[in-house]
Structure 1
Amino acid sequence: MKKLVAPLLLTLSMSTSANTTPPDVTEFLQVLPQYVQWAEQIDKEGQKTGTSLNEAELQIAKEVGVSHPEKIRMVYVDSVPYPYENPVLKEMGERIGFIGEGITNNAQVFGYSIYVRKGFILDTPKLAHEFVHVKQIEEASSLLEYSKKHLVDMAKYGYADAPYEKEAFKANEKYKHK
């Protein structure tokens, strides 16, 4: 059975340009299992406290290819969780641009739990984007391999051009006028 927990990288807002050197991900790959363990707990909490999807949301999740949309829970929080108490993960999050001064994480998938910052409008295109990430996690051979691939791809191509993000952004476009 596949583990279903979103990696740290699903909503990472990192960009690269011709003048920017992509971050070295070697160190982060070594601590990724710590993040996965923490994320599994966050997903379990979300499964207990989150709300089920309504009929329209279930339909969108099915349309983007989620195998088990009935398992998805929406969790509205003051801020999307991150393991700040773990100094190594905190440092890695800051180095890759996931957390830090001026960075706000509005929504993130943790397996079947989607955490959304209160006040952030998760409209249909953005919701479809998050559902694509749930689908990608369902399809992954393992969370660790999925996370490694996504991290390396984002370091290589930048956030917007990483393959998993490109797929999710296609859902944004498809649902833009629905």
Structure 2
Amino acid sequence: MYEKLILQYISWAVSIDQAGNKTGEPLDEKELLLAKEVGIKFPKKVRLVYVDEVPFPYENEDLKQMGLSLGFIGKHIKNEAQAFGYSIYIRKDLNFTIGKLAHELVHVMQIERSDSFSTYVIQYLSDLAKYGYSKAPLEIEAFKANTKYGGR
């Protein structure tokens, strides 16, 4: 069942990325340098989209249940920022530090190095199911950027 749901999620996420690419702000010079340092191949494609709430397809009950079961969403989970391809959605009320930006930029880099966005999402959600958020390999890699760049 998750295969069908993951494909639905990917389709939804691609549309969110496309919207973000149209409405988001490009990285400034300092942020472009950080994106290059993190390893993004096409840093000028990255867009920052400031929102009241990071989007999730809550209206799709099956996807909502999948998100809850994977710990991706939930009562005590506050999604502060998320990369959807080259668009990074960031909560407006968040103190978005350079360390947090580096974390999200690592996710963009991970998406770039994957065969496709679909491959990345399948890996990411599989890791959540297997390891949980804090021990998922893609998150561990991104959290290293929080630490490395957090002091800047």
Matched, 1:78 2:52: yes
Q: Deviations over 1:39-97 (max 9, x none)?
A: 11111111111111110000000000000110111101110111111121111112222
Output the TM-score relative to the length of structure 1: 0.80
Quote the residue 1:40 is aligned against. Answer: 14
Once residues 6 and 42 of structure 2 are traced to their aligned partners in structure 1, the CA distance between those partners, rounded to angstroms, is 26
Quote the residue 1:95 is aligned against. Answer: 69
The SS at the match of 1:108 is strand
Once residues 140 and 117 of structure 2 are traced to their aligned partners in structure 1, the CA distance between those partners, rounded to angstroms, is 19
Rg comparison, structure with higher value = 1
CA RMSD of superposed structures (Å): 1.3
The SS at the match of 1:35 is helix
Matched, 1:122 2:93: no
The SS at the match of 1:114 is strand
Structure 1 residue ranges, 4+ long, deviating more than 6 angstroms after superposition: none
Quote the residue 1:31 is aligned against. Answer: 5
Considering fraction of residues, name the structure with more helix.
2
Deviates more, 1:127-136 or 1:102-111: 102-111
Quote the residue 1:61 is aligned against. Answer: 35
Output the TM-score relative to the length of structure 2: 0.93
Once residues 93 and 158 of structure 1 are traced to their aligned partners in structure 2, the CA distance between those partners, rounded to angstroms, is 12
Once residues 65 and 127 of structure 1 are traced to their aligned partners in structure 2, the CA distance between those partners, rounded to angstroms, is 13
The SS at the match of 2:48 is strand
Higher RCO structure, 1 or 2 (CA under 8 Å, sep 6+): 1
Quote the residue 2:86 is aligned against. Answer: 112
**Amino acid corresponding to residue 82 of structure 1 in structure 2:** F
Matched, 1:157 2:125: no
**Amino acid corresponding to residue 119 of structure 1 in structure 2:** D
Once residues 48 and 92 of structure 2 are traced to their aligned partners in structure 1, the CA distance between those partners, rounded to angstroms, is 11
Once residues 56 and 114 of structure 1 are traced to their aligned partners in structure 2, the CA distance between those partners, rounded to angstroms, is 16
